[in-house]
Amino acid sequence: QLQLVQSGAEVKMPGASVKVSCQASGYTFTNYYIHWVRQAPGQGLEWMGIINPSSGGTIYAQKFQGRVTVTRDTSTSTIYMELSSLKSEDTAVYYCARRDVVVTATIFDYWGQGTLVTVSS
Amino acid sequence: DIQMTQSPSTLSASVGDRVTITCRASQSISSWLAWYQQKPGKAPKLLIYKASSLESGVPSRFSASGSGTEFTLTISSLQPDDFATYYCQQYNGYPWTFGQGTKVEIK
Protein backbone atom coordinates (compact mmCIF):
# COMPACT_ATOMS: atom_id res chain seq x y z
CA GLN A 1 0.00 0.00 0.00
CA LEU A 2 1.01 3.62 -0.35
CA GLN A 3 3.52 4.61 2.32
CA LEU A 4 6.15 7.15 3.19
CA VAL A 5 8.37 5.52 5.79
CA GLN A 6 10.90 7.66 7.61
CA SER A 7 14.04 6.71 9.47
CA GLY A 8 14.16 6.50 13.24
CA ALA A 9 14.74 9.08 15.94
CA GLU A 10 18.12 10.76 16.22
CA VAL A 11 20.00 12.49 19.03
CA LYS A 12 22.73 14.87 17.92
CA MET A 13 25.20 17.25 19.51
CA PRO A 14 25.05 20.95 18.65
CA GLY A 15 27.09 21.64 15.52
CA ALA A 16 26.59 18.14 14.12
CA SER A 17 24.57 17.11 11.07
CA VAL A 18 21.62 14.78 10.75
CA LYS A 19 20.33 12.89 7.73
CA VAL A 20 16.71 11.76 7.72
CA SER A 21 15.37 9.40 5.09
CA CYS A 22 11.88 9.01 3.61
CA GLN A 23 11.24 5.86 1.56
CA ALA A 24 8.25 5.88 -0.75
CA SER A 25 6.28 2.82 -1.81
CA GLY A 26 2.96 2.02 -3.41
CA TYR A 27 3.04 4.72 -6.09
CA THR A 28 5.19 5.97 -8.96
CA PHE A 29 8.05 7.72 -7.20
CA THR A 30 8.70 10.34 -9.88
CA ASN A 31 5.06 11.45 -10.11
CA TYR A 32 5.09 13.25 -6.76
CA TYR A 33 7.25 15.99 -5.32
CA ILE A 34 8.47 15.40 -1.79
CA HIS A 35 8.42 18.23 0.73
CA TRP A 36 9.91 18.48 4.20
CA VAL A 37 8.02 20.07 7.07
CA ARG A 38 9.14 20.27 10.67
CA GLN A 39 7.39 20.82 13.98
CA ALA A 40 9.18 21.87 17.14
CA PRO A 41 7.77 20.49 20.41
CA GLY A 42 4.40 22.08 21.12
CA GLN A 43 4.75 24.39 18.13
CA GLY A 44 3.28 24.76 14.66
CA LEU A 45 4.34 23.48 11.27
CA GLU A 46 7.23 24.92 9.29
CA TRP A 47 7.93 24.25 5.61
CA MET A 48 11.57 23.55 4.82
CA GLY A 49 11.90 22.59 1.18
CA ILE A 50 10.98 20.46 -1.81
CA ILE A 51 12.62 18.05 -4.19
CA ASN A 52 11.50 16.91 -7.61
CA PRO A 53 12.32 13.19 -7.51
CA SER A 54 12.52 13.04 -11.29
CA SER A 55 15.05 15.83 -11.88
CA GLY A 56 16.54 16.16 -8.41
CA GLY A 57 15.80 19.87 -8.49
CA THR A 58 15.27 21.50 -5.10
CA ILE A 59 13.85 24.65 -3.52
CA TYR A 60 14.61 25.52 0.07
CA ALA A 61 13.14 28.03 2.50
CA GLN A 62 15.50 30.98 2.89
CA LYS A 63 15.70 30.24 6.60
CA PHE A 64 17.45 26.94 5.91
CA GLN A 65 19.53 27.92 2.87
CA GLY A 66 23.09 26.74 3.29
CA ARG A 67 22.19 24.29 6.05
CA VAL A 68 19.74 21.92 4.38
CA THR A 69 20.32 19.53 1.51
CA VAL A 70 17.62 17.30 0.08
CA THR A 71 18.63 14.49 -2.27
CA ARG A 72 17.04 11.43 -3.75
CA ASP A 73 17.93 7.88 -4.73
CA THR A 74 15.61 6.78 -7.49
CA SER A 75 16.85 3.18 -7.29
CA THR A 76 15.38 2.82 -3.80
CA SER A 77 12.64 5.49 -4.04
CA THR A 78 14.19 7.27 -1.08
CA ILE A 79 14.50 10.95 -0.28
CA TYR A 80 17.12 12.24 2.14
CA MET A 81 17.06 15.49 4.11
CA GLU A 82 20.34 16.53 5.68
CA LEU A 83 20.48 19.43 8.12
CA SER A 84 23.86 20.68 9.23
CA SER A 85 25.23 22.95 11.97
CA LEU A 86 22.48 21.78 14.29
CA LYS A 87 21.30 24.03 17.11
CA SER A 88 19.00 23.29 20.02
CA GLU A 89 16.27 25.15 18.12
CA ASP A 90 16.39 22.43 15.45
CA THR A 91 14.91 19.95 17.92
CA ALA A 92 11.71 18.94 16.16
CA VAL A 93 9.77 16.23 14.43
CA TYR A 94 10.65 16.22 10.75
CA TYR A 95 8.03 15.06 8.26
CA CYS A 96 8.18 14.25 4.59
CA ALA A 97 5.00 14.71 2.56
CA ARG A 98 4.17 14.20 -1.10
CA ARG A 99 2.43 16.39 -3.66
CA ASP A 100 1.25 15.41 -7.14
CA VAL A 101 3.45 16.78 -9.91
CA VAL A 102 0.59 17.05 -12.37
CA VAL A 103 -2.53 17.75 -10.28
CA THR A 104 -1.25 20.95 -8.73
CA ALA A 105 -4.56 21.83 -7.08
CA THR A 106 -4.02 19.24 -4.43
CA ILE A 107 -1.34 19.21 -1.74
CA PHE A 108 0.09 16.93 0.96
CA ASP A 109 -2.20 13.92 0.77
CA TYR A 110 0.28 11.47 2.33
CA TRP A 111 2.80 12.13 5.06
CA GLY A 112 5.59 10.14 6.61
CA GLN A 113 5.23 9.15 10.25
CA GLY A 114 7.72 11.77 11.37
CA THR A 115 11.28 11.57 12.70
CA LEU A 116 12.17 13.16 16.02
CA VAL A 117 15.54 14.88 15.95
CA THR A 118 16.82 15.98 19.33
CA VAL A 119 19.76 18.36 19.52
CA SER A 120 21.34 18.37 22.93
CA SER A 121 24.73 18.46 24.55
CA ASP B 1 7.06 35.61 3.18
CA ILE B 2 3.27 35.30 3.31
CA GLN B 3 2.02 35.35 6.90
CA MET B 4 -0.96 33.19 7.78
CA THR B 5 -2.97 34.15 10.86
CA GLN B 6 -5.59 31.85 12.33
CA SER B 7 -8.28 32.73 14.81
CA PRO B 8 -9.09 31.78 17.40
CA SER B 9 -5.99 30.07 18.78
CA THR B 10 -8.14 27.90 21.01
CA LEU B 11 -11.78 27.05 20.71
CA SER B 12 -13.90 25.28 23.35
CA ALA B 13 -16.94 23.53 21.96
CA SER B 14 -19.34 20.69 22.61
CA VAL B 15 -20.27 17.69 20.53
CA GLY B 16 -22.88 18.78 17.99
CA ASP B 17 -21.72 22.40 17.87
CA ARG B 18 -21.09 24.24 14.63
CA VAL B 19 -17.50 25.44 14.63
CA THR B 20 -15.79 27.99 12.40
CA ILE B 21 -12.07 28.73 12.16
CA THR B 22 -10.72 31.71 10.23
CA CYS B 23 -7.42 32.03 8.39
CA ARG B 24 -6.12 35.30 6.98
CA ALA B 25 -3.22 35.71 4.57
CA SER B 26 -0.97 38.77 4.59
CA GLN B 27 -1.40 39.04 0.80
CA SER B 28 -3.63 37.46 -1.77
CA ILE B 29 -3.09 33.73 -2.28
CA SER B 30 -6.01 33.24 -4.69
CA SER B 31 -7.43 29.83 -3.69
CA TRP B 32 -4.14 28.13 -2.90
CA LEU B 33 -5.07 27.20 0.62
CA ALA B 34 -5.25 23.89 2.45
CA TRP B 35 -6.59 22.85 5.83
CA TYR B 36 -5.17 20.06 7.97
CA GLN B 37 -6.21 18.30 11.16
CA GLN B 38 -3.52 17.11 13.52
CA LYS B 39 -3.82 14.93 16.60
CA PRO B 40 -1.07 14.57 19.22
CA GLY B 41 1.85 12.45 18.05
CA LYS B 42 0.46 12.09 14.53
CA ALA B 43 1.22 13.62 11.17
CA PRO B 44 -1.21 16.22 9.87
CA LYS B 45 -4.14 14.94 7.84
CA LEU B 46 -5.31 16.82 4.75
CA LEU B 47 -8.96 17.91 4.98
CA ILE B 48 -9.37 20.60 2.32
CA TYR B 49 -7.31 21.73 -0.67
CA LYS B 50 -7.72 24.58 -3.17
CA ALA B 51 -9.64 26.51 -0.47
CA SER B 52 -12.86 24.52 -0.69
CA SER B 53 -12.24 21.06 -2.19
CA LEU B 54 -12.89 18.21 0.23
CA GLU B 55 -10.16 15.58 0.26
CA SER B 56 -11.34 12.07 -0.53
CA GLY B 57 -12.54 10.21 2.55
CA VAL B 58 -13.03 13.32 4.69
CA PRO B 59 -16.52 13.55 6.25
CA SER B 60 -18.90 16.01 4.64
CA ARG B 61 -19.40 17.85 7.95
CA PHE B 62 -16.13 19.60 7.04
CA SER B 63 -16.44 22.46 4.59
CA ALA B 64 -14.37 25.49 3.71
CA SER B 65 -14.61 28.65 1.71
CA GLY B 66 -12.75 31.82 0.83
CA SER B 67 -10.34 33.31 -1.65
CA GLY B 68 -7.80 36.06 -1.75
CA THR B 69 -6.91 36.73 1.88
CA GLU B 70 -9.86 35.45 3.94
CA PHE B 71 -10.69 31.80 4.45
CA THR B 72 -12.86 29.75 6.78
CA LEU B 73 -13.10 26.13 7.83
CA THR B 74 -16.45 24.99 9.22
CA ILE B 75 -17.36 21.81 11.02
CA SER B 76 -21.14 21.60 10.83
CA SER B 77 -21.68 19.27 13.79
CA LEU B 78 -18.64 18.61 15.94
CA GLN B 79 -17.96 14.94 16.62
CA PRO B 80 -15.75 13.40 19.34
CA ASP B 81 -13.11 12.52 16.73
CA ASP B 82 -12.84 16.18 15.69
CA PHE B 83 -11.14 17.42 18.85
CA ALA B 84 -7.70 18.24 17.47
CA THR B 85 -5.55 21.10 16.20
CA TYR B 86 -6.30 22.58 12.79
CA TYR B 87 -3.82 24.35 10.52
CA CYS B 88 -4.22 26.34 7.37
CA GLN B 89 -1.43 26.43 4.80
CA GLN B 90 -0.84 28.62 1.77
CA TYR B 91 0.80 27.16 -1.30
CA ASN B 92 0.64 30.17 -3.56
CA GLY B 93 4.31 30.97 -3.33
CA TYR B 94 7.50 29.75 -1.69
CA PRO B 95 8.15 29.54 1.13
CA TRP B 96 4.87 27.79 1.81
CA THR B 97 3.63 28.87 5.21
CA PHE B 98 1.22 27.61 7.84
CA GLY B 99 -1.04 29.32 10.30
CA GLN B 100 -0.14 28.94 13.96
CA GLY B 101 -2.93 26.45 14.56
CA THR B 102 -6.33 26.38 16.24
CA LYS B 103 -6.85 23.88 19.02
CA VAL B 104 -10.43 22.64 19.29
CA GLU B 105 -11.06 21.52 22.88
CA ILE B 106 -13.93 19.86 24.63
CA LYS B 107 -16.09 22.38 26.49
- Residue A108: which of B46, B50, B100 has the nearest Cβ? B46
pLDDT of residue A102: 86
Contacts of B99 in chain A (CB under 8 A): 44
pLDDT in tens, A89-119: 999 999 999 999 888 888 999 999 999 999 9
pLDDT, tens digit, 9 for 90 and up, residues B27-51: 999 999 999 999 999 999 999 999 9
Query: Quick check: A109 contacting B, CB < 8 Å?
Result: yes
Contact between chains at A111 and B94 (C-beta distance less than 8 A): no
- Note the pLDDT of residue A105: 83
**Cβ–Cβ gap B34/A113 under 8 Å:** no
What pLDDT does residue B71 have? Answer: 98
CA B107, CA B98: separation in Å to the nearest integer?
Answer: 26
Average pLDDT score, chain B: 97
> Residue A39 pLDDT > 90, yes or no?
yes
Q: Please, which residues 26-45 of chain A have a Cβ atom closer than 8 Å to chain B?
A: 35, 44-45
Contact B95 A62 (CB under 8 A): yes
Q: How many Å is the maximal CA-CA distance in chain A?
A: 44
Residue A70: what pLDDT? 98
> Which residue of chain B has the CA closest to A114?
B43
The vertex-A20 CA angle with A6 and A104, nearest 5°, equals 70
Q: How confident is the model at residue B70 (pLDDT cuts 50, 70, 90)?
A: very high
Q: In this complex, do A109 and B101 lie within 8 Å of one another by their Cβ atoms?
A: no
Cβ within 8 Å of A, B 31-70: 34, 36, 43-46, 49-50, 53, 55
Q: Over A92-109, what HEC string results?
A: EEEEEEEEECCCCCCCCC
